[in-house]
Amino acid sequence: MKIYFIGVNGIGVSGLAKISKFLGHDVYGSDQLRTPMSETLEAQGITFYDSHCADRIKEMDVIVYSTAVKMTNPELIEAIKLKKLIFKRGEYLAKLMHFQEGIAVAGAHGKTTTTSMCAMLFLPSDATFYIGGVLPEVKDTVHPGTSSIFISEADESDNSFLFMHPKYSIITNIEPDHIDFHGSFDHIKESFEKFMEQTSKEIVACGECDTLLNMVKKHPKKARLYGFDTKFDIVASHVRVEGTRTLFNISIDGVLVYENIEIIVPGRHNVLNATASIYVAHQCGIAENVIREQIKKFTGAKRRFDIIYNDGFTIIDDYAHHPTEISATIEAAKTLNAKRLVVVYQPHRYSRTNFLFDAYYNVFKDITKGFILPIYSAGEENVYKITELDLCRQISENNNVEVIDESAVMSMIPEQGDLLIFMGAGNITYLAQKFAQKFIKIN
């Protein structure tokens, strides 16, 4: 079968192309520019085109397109005209998962890390996985495996997760986000409710989220709650931090099952992520010794508390862009006991900044110094007339935050013992790498 991917350089679509090639299909893809991803795809036997041309579509059997592809795209127009079998990225992902035992991870925050943890636990058994970030252990976002398990991140931003009908679902939390698509928090909750209904065996839900705690009451037979409270079905307890290690116990239905589980990614939120992942692995028959060794080796998904420099001072690249994520990242950073905690934050989208404006209040209260870059538009127009200066005033009461530009960031000189976090979902990761490279050259 010939499968053609439009917008193939994207992290999501490229992963689907790789899995399709592994399954034995003839795979082709196009995008506007040649990037390192294009070369990676070609190295795996996928034909890449750095332009969009309608003439190529005639010979193809299936067309898959990215959510970033507009309906004016000539290849998509031709595919519709020729009545080809056409799938959106999320729909095609669900089709691949449909033929296997699906484990889907959803939530406003933490889904990439939790999916990555699941992938690590099932990696020795050769499960297929599809993640929204790079798993360092395989240096990729996907792993096409030979077992019956298919682990995938489930994206609620455009409701593409509603194409899925997983056997197990992990839901880390439900919060208002992506309002530009959903319109209201009520619509988001309706979408998650449908996702839960489509889970066939168990909904593994975080009881620490009040919204989620209330919603799962509708599913008493298949919902399993995890968290720190002893009233939950799966309980993480005796959490303690020893240097860079975090140790904790896991009880299931009141019985201590795992004692002294060790992870090396910091923060109580990662204890929760690990607890959910371990429970699902336990339910699927993964051996205890495998669970212990694999979770201990987990270093984090790329751009999730990603240490990119550590010599005298530490630089971290992190994807946090929602106030709840920012707070969790700062809370995790505090456990490292740095001399100073400095954050460089790039707000993401005018719509998100406007809708979540109140939630930003005092979110940087526990850091030494914060810097706010210009808002990353992600293609949006600023119809809200909101600026990074407005956000700066909202974020902090104690005047420890100021607006900054890229050139001023590059002139910063960290002190011995400092911890610097570059934070955001836009292009700040390139600034973080550029900043770190400056000190790598010196040394």
- In the chain the first and final C-alpha atoms are separated, in Å, by 52
Of the candidates 283, 240, 422, the one whose C-alpha atom is nearest the C-alpha of residue 341 is: 422
Distance CA 347, CA 375 (A): 5
Of the candidates 319, 422, 313, the one whose C-alpha atom is nearest the C-alpha of residue 373 is: 422
Q: Is there a contact between 165 and 101 (Cβ–Cβ < 8 Å)?
A: no
Could you confirm whether 246 is annotated as catalytic? no
Q: Which among 75, 78, 111, 324 is annotated as catalytic?
A: 111
Could you confirm whether 70 is annotated as catalytic? no
Sequence-ordered list of residues with C-beta below 8 angstroms from that of 197, at least 6 positions apart, any chain:
219
Could you confirm whether 111 is annotated as catalytic? yes
Sign of the Cα torsion 99, 101, 106, 109 reads negative
Of the candidates 328, 285, 363, the one whose C-alpha atom is nearest the C-alpha of residue 122 is: 285
Distance CA 83, CA 443 (A): 59
Distance CA 327, CA 268 (A): 11
Q: Which among 18, 75, 112, 329 is annotated as catalytic?
A: 112
Number of residues that this document lists for the chain: 443
Of the candidates 397, 391, 362, the one whose C-alpha atom is nearest the C-alpha of residue 376 is: 391
Under DSSP, the state recorded for 376 is B
Measured CA distances, 143 to 125, 128, 135 (Å): 12, 5, 10
Q: Which among 75, 153, 156, 208 is annotated as catalytic?
A: 153
SS3 114: helix
Q: What is the DSSP string of 334-362?
A: HTT--SEEEEEE--B-HHHHHHTGGGGTT
Distance CA 316, CA 85 (A): 43
Catalytic residues: 111-112, 153
